[in-house]
Structure 1
Amino acid sequence: MRESYRIRVDVERVIGKIDPNIYGHFVEHLGRCIYGGIYEENSALSDENGFRKDVLKAVRSIKCPLLRWPGGNFASNYHWEDGIGPKDERPVRFDLAWNKEETNRFGTDEFIEYCRAIGAEPYICVNIGTGSLDEAIHWLEYCNSTGNSYYAKLRGQNGHPEPYQVKYWGVGNENYGEWQVGYRSAKEYAKVLREYAYFMKVIDPTIKIIAVGADEPEWDLEVIKTAGKYIDYISNHQYLGSDDYYETVASVYWVKKRLEVLKSVIEIAQPSMKEEEKVKIALDEWNIWYRGNQENDLEENYALKDGLFAAGVFITMHRLCQSVTMANLAQLVNVLGAIHTDRKGLYLTPIYRAFDLFVNHTGEIVLDTSVKSETYHIEVKAHFGRREFKLANVPYLDTSATLSRNKDKLYIAAVNYHKEEDIECPIFLEGFSPSAEAKVYELNGPNVMATNDFENPERIKIKTGMIKNAASKFDYSFPPHSCTVIELNVK
């Protein structure tokens, strides 16, 4: 009988280590992401800081390592000094990005406090639209400086004498787009970036700078060639999705292709640099987005198919772990949110469940994994003006294998994208002798379009189980439309 599927893992063939920052998130002043999402003053569900306690618990459960703020498009006309000091004295401003008023009741100090509450590193994006180099430097000084400088003292006057030590700083957001305040050509942006990055590192040489990438090789090459010695990351944004199941899950391979293109651009721009010294990729906005709009506050209710897309993106980032070392789901709550809230509670979407599965049930060391799979061809239609694309030889089975830090556990993560069929798959392990009993974690639901909601918050969830036949060669049946992690212990 012809073998249609096979997984082979070689423990001696290490690709690299996963940077935990690939499991990062993003909050923007948009819709109910911050106000009514993570932050709700005077709510019985909030703590003394105004932070929703139920949201805090959910975010802590997926160990958010990195949180990007304040945007997004919002960042390009945000003046940070409007958001410090006594809340009742802060000015209400009109936001050009989203055509609304901004109260500024959640600002820099609140953001840092929130990051500390969830155990995340803050990632701040500076305004190069209506802002200036002076403003960016002053913001950095407010966050990180010690001594008697004006902005260091101002932070102390606002109740925070110790520096925040914000490590990650983005210079601009999507400045390649005509919708952006601060729209520029690649040459114009690269020149501004070089100046900002250089002088921001004069203030604090320890910071990491994220440059704007455009998902276009010409732009990205210009940026890296001009400013590569001053930056640490170049960003990439990917929004995909469709009502069609196979279009949605196949889009994982579009993300893979685009990240591989950017990786090649970096190699062309920095050919003589060691791998660890090259600019890294920050996939600092990614998600399913094709229904949400400003009329419904961009509140997508995600289905199982969208959770499987997220699982596939994680597998892709595992494989590209040497290049992709940061990612931020856009966004954390309500607005394209992994978590949805109302005034009474919350529910967790299938995308949140994918985070839970990969954050809590995969390892740190990525192994070379050979996967044999049946495939299909598909044409993915354009949504929201995005390009159409065709994909050939898209596999029904995708897999990553990771080891725990001390190499006593092997995790095999596998997505069966087939809508209707089990995948019967032999699994071969080289260099790892497992105990016969192994834990199994399975993300699945009744059908690919099933969702969670306030009435049925557990329709899509992670089920746990056991197998007792694990060995150097064993068989496993992956259910249709599922993501499974098999946790193997060394014998």
Structure 2
Amino acid sequence: GDKDWGDYEFTFEAQKIDGAEAFLVLFRVLNDEEFYWYNIGGWGNIQIALEKGVKDRGWGLIGPVVRNNIETGRWYKIVVRCEGAHLTVKLDDKTMLDFTDQTNQHLKGCVGLGTWNTKAQYRNIKVTSLDGKTLFEGLPELKKEQIGTRFWQFYGKGEAQLTEDNPLNSTWCQAITSDADEAGVEQKPFCIRKGEVYNGSLWVRGEAPDGMIVKLLDGDKTIDKAELAASKTDWSEFKFTFRSRVNAKDATLRIGVTGKGTIWLDQVSLMAKNARKVGGYRPDLLKAIADLKPPVIRWPGGCFASPYRWKDGIGPQHKRKVYPREIWDDLDINSYGADEFIRMCKKIGAEPLLVVNIGTKAWNENPNEQEFLQDVLDWIEYCNGPATSKWGKVRAENGHRKPYNVKFWEIDNETWGMGVENYIEAVRKFATAMKKADPTIKLAACGSGGFDLEWNRKMIDGCADVIDYLSIHHYENPDSFAKGPFNYEKFIRQTGELITKSKNPNLKIYCSEWNAQSIDWRTGLYAGGVLNAFERCSDNFEMAGPALFLRHQSATAWNNAFINFDHTGWFTAPNYVLMKLWRDHYAPDRLGIEGDVKGLNVVATKSQDGKKVYFKVVNPSDKEREVNLTLGKGFTVKKASMQIVAPGSLDARNTLKNPDAVKPNKGEVEINGQDVKFKLPSLSAAVVTIKGR
């Protein structure tokens, strides 16, 4: 459509074929950040709601939420009408939305149709102006790409096509035919460092009488190259090495056939030697994770967990399975599997937590529960069994003879769509079998999303006796950075009260996904506040982990990550900045606080040796606050210091070009006997360290 379309009616018919949800209807779309979409059959096909994207602020719900279910195989007629800020949506002539957007309205933009973890089809698509003029009708024209492989481009004279003809380890491989001279495929950008060595490999079959060539290019200049021979009908691996004498931020990897020939290509890999030295991880990103000193890291997380098959991600790379992840319109090549994850955790001193797939129908085709249960038990044996056991032997063959001794396990992810009663039944079955396989493990089961206390109540009543953690999730509107932490703290305490009265009062709460949906300073203020709330709830609350943890800058959604990167570098979001500041000033013993905190979000802790007190505080207000701390008996103040984050604007953020716009700075602290005084600017967060005599 046209970004200048203003008021119009968007009509079409839609049919759900398969999957967990239904239809995404986009309108008034300006770009990837600014749009409306009507989510029909969202949240596990239980409701319909309007969501709005705002530039630099992500997207979220606006307007009323309607409970509804979309039937598979049925055609629905849908009409979207945009008239100024007034938006209406009809489903089979029934009005589902009648809403006027009061703030930051999108008044122009294109239309679109999509799905989320669902297969659907659309027909009779039409857009008309409100005076009856047809603006668009039919289907958009899709450009045909010669190569068909995402991220790769064809060069030279010849052709390149995806083919299902005898692939190496998946459904597809890349066929390349050169008519003369040189032709092949290329990908960019790669960040190449001067003095670095790059080891690569690729799998090839076919015939290229004049050989193949692999090049690393900086524009038109060759950084290094390797000549390969390809004259076999069977798949063979070819290894090569590049050495760079230059820096090149946007280098190109080129793989070509010289002269006439046809080859089939698969499993291309290129990795810097310094990454191989640390186990195959990008050293800068590994350090970014390690600097947070996370005690536990959860994987596979989010919607990746529920369809994940762990056996596809172990062993030699060329034998690992590759299959589509429709939810992200992408392929999972399984190069990062259980061994790579656990090895990363051990390297940085974190405990791994593995989320198992129990075979939910929404994510797995025709699942057999017993088969999935056995798969989980096999995973436990692979991780924790002796090298003489069936799967321990496989682990040993993969280079890890000693058991990993994975302690923490979670029974699937966000299972709300299957219903709480069905999930409780599954938890009891899986938990009993898992603890029988290894009595030393600790188990988490899915708790609420948001503020669903009823789900938590039923879970605690139904299976608290067979689990160790209730795993809850919460994503906050970043505009609620001030009140959001207190609201969620209240909810955690309500859940804690249910636990205290349950048959397992030792059950702990684990917030395995939390964040505010932004990477500006609002998410930093929220992070500091909610981390304080977690500490204040420590009688029932034991663990937490944010999401997203890492995100590539090319991603089109979920712009809330702690660590943000591209091929050249990375930067931290304010939530990372606050979490690291809080983590660097961790102490195990929480202290009581008396007095009027005047809207501040505070927590105080003492080191194990009793020599330091940390006061963590967030000032989410638009006013400066003066704070006077008086230390009680048993602790004599010697000196104090403060680290403060106060960028001065809610819109402040770090970027690749300016990675330190939001960072801690030294603050001023005054000591008078047992009193410690300081000022907190508006919209700031700080840690005051008080050392005793």
Partner of 2:349: 119
SS in 2 for 1:222: helix
Question: Is 1:152 paired with 2:392?
Answer: yes
Partner of 1:267: 500
- Contact 1:64 / 1:120 at 8 angstroms: preserved in 2? yes
**More strand as a share of residues:** 2
What residue identity is the alignment partner of 1:148?
A: T
Offset, 1:56:
1.4
- CA offsets, 1:41-62, max 9 Å, x none? 6257733432010111122211
- Contact 2:648 / 2:683 at 8 angstroms: preserved in 1? no
Question: Is 1:230 paired with 2:466?
Answer: yes
What residue identity is the alignment partner of 2:629?
A: I
- CA offsets, 1:129-179, max 9 Å, x none? 2361111111111000115221111111111111010000000111113xx
Alignment of 1:411-490 (within 5 A): 411-419=614-622, 421-465=623-667, 467-490=669-692
Offset, 1:225:
2.2
Q: Structure 2: how far apart are the matches of 1:355 and 1:434?
A: 28
Partner of 1:282: 510
Offset, 1:439:
1.4
Alignment of 1:307-456 (within 5 A): 307-334=524-551, 336-374=560-598, 395=599, 397-419=600-622, 421-456=623-658
User: Could you say if the C-alpha distance between residues 216 and 468 of structure 1 is closer, same or farther in structure 2, counting changes exceeding 3 Å?
Assistant: closer
Instruction: Specify the structure having the higher radius of gyration (Cα).
Output: 2
Partner of 1:221: 457
- Contact 2:574 / 2:662 at 8 angstroms: preserved in 1? yes
User: Could you say if the C-alpha distance between residues 268 and 41 of structure 1 is closer, same or farther in structure 2, counting changes exceeding 3 Å?
Assistant: farther
**More helix as a share of residues:** 1
What residue identity is the alignment partner of 1:312?
A: G
Offset, 1:350:
0.9
- Contact 1:438 / 1:467 at 8 angstroms: preserved in 2? yes
What residue identity is the alignment partner of 2:609?
A: N
- Contact 1:147 / 1:153 at 8 angstroms: preserved in 2? yes
- CA offsets, 1:206-241, max 9 Å, x none? 100001112423322222222222100001100012
Offset, 1:368:
1.5
What residue identity is the alignment partner of 2:603?
A: S
SS in 1 for 2:481: helix
- Contact 2:670 / 2:678 at 8 angstroms: preserved in 1? no
Partner of 1:203: 437
Q: Structure 1: how far apart are the matches of 2:595 and 2:398?
A: 56
Q: Structure 2: how far apart are the matches of 1:476 and 1:465?
A: 8
Partner of 2:475: 239
- Contact 1:436 / 1:470 at 8 angstroms: preserved in 2? no
- Contact 2:638 / 2:692 at 8 angstroms: preserved in 1? no
- Contact 1:438 / 1:470 at 8 angstroms: preserved in 2? no
User: Could you say if the C-alpha distance between residues 68 and 216 of structure 1 is closer, same or farther in structure 2, counting changes exceeding 3 Å?
Assistant: same
Partner of 2:283: 53
Q: Structure 2: how far apart are the matches of 1:256 and 1:84?
A: 40
Offset, 1:448:
1.9
What residue identity is the alignment partner of 1:407?
A: G
User: Could you say if the C-alpha distance between residues 470 and 463 of structure 1 is closer, same or farther in structure 2, counting changes exceeding 3 Å?
Assistant: farther
Offset, 1:96:
4.7
SS in 1 for 2:482: helix
TM-score by length of 1: 0.79
Offset, 1:466:
5.3
- Contact 2:355 / 2:413 at 8 angstroms: preserved in 1? yes
User: Could you say if the C-alpha distance between residues 404 and 223 of structure 1 is closer, same or farther in structure 2, counting changes exceeding 3 Å?
Assistant: same
User: Could you say if the C-alpha distance between residues 197 and 203 of structure 1 is closer, same or farther in structure 2, counting changes exceeding 3 Å?
Assistant: same
TM-score by length of 2: 0.57
1:88 counterpart (318, 334, 339):
318
Q: Structure 2: how far apart are the matches of 1:113 and 1:321?
A: 30
Once the two structures are overlaid, the 10-residue window that deviates more, 436-445 or 469-478, is 469-478
Q: Structure 2: how far apart are the matches of 1:81 and 1:98?
A: 21
SS in 2 for 1:42: strand
Q: Structure 2: how far apart are the matches of 1:222 and 1:454?
A: 45
Q: Structure 2: how far apart are the matches of 1:249 and 1:453?
A: 24
Aligned length: 407
- CA offsets, 1:22-43, max 9 Å, x none? xxxxxxxx9xxxxx9xxx9625
- Contact 1:437 / 1:466 at 8 angstroms: preserved in 2? no
Q: Structure 2: how far apart are the matches of 1:483 and 1:217?
A: 30
User: Could you say if the C-alpha distance between residues 345 and 476 of structure 1 is closer, same or farther in structure 2, counting changes exceeding 3 Å?
Assistant: same
What residue identity is the alignment partner of 1:353?
A: V
Measured on the aligned residues, the alpha-carbon RMSD in Å equals 2.0
Q: Structure 2: how far apart are the matches of 1:474 and 1:398?
A: 18
Partner of 1:390: none
Greater RCO structure (CA 8 Å; 6+ sep): 1
- Contact 1:287 / 1:330 at 8 angstroms: preserved in 2? yes
- Contact 1:437 / 1:470 at 8 angstroms: preserved in 2? no
- Contact 1:77 / 1:97 at 8 angstroms: preserved in 2? no
- Contact 1:433 / 1:471 at 8 angstroms: preserved in 2? no
- Contact 2:481 / 2:523 at 8 angstroms: preserved in 1? yes
What residue identity is the alignment partner of 1:124?
A: L
Partner of 2:243: none
Partner of 1:42: 271
- Contact 2:321 / 2:334 at 8 angstroms: preserved in 1? yes
Structure 1 alignment gaps of length 5 or more: 1-29, 31-35, 178-183, 290-299, 375-394
User: Could you say if the C-alpha distance between residues 414 and 371 of structure 1 is closer, same or farther in structure 2, counting changes exceeding 3 Å?
Assistant: farther
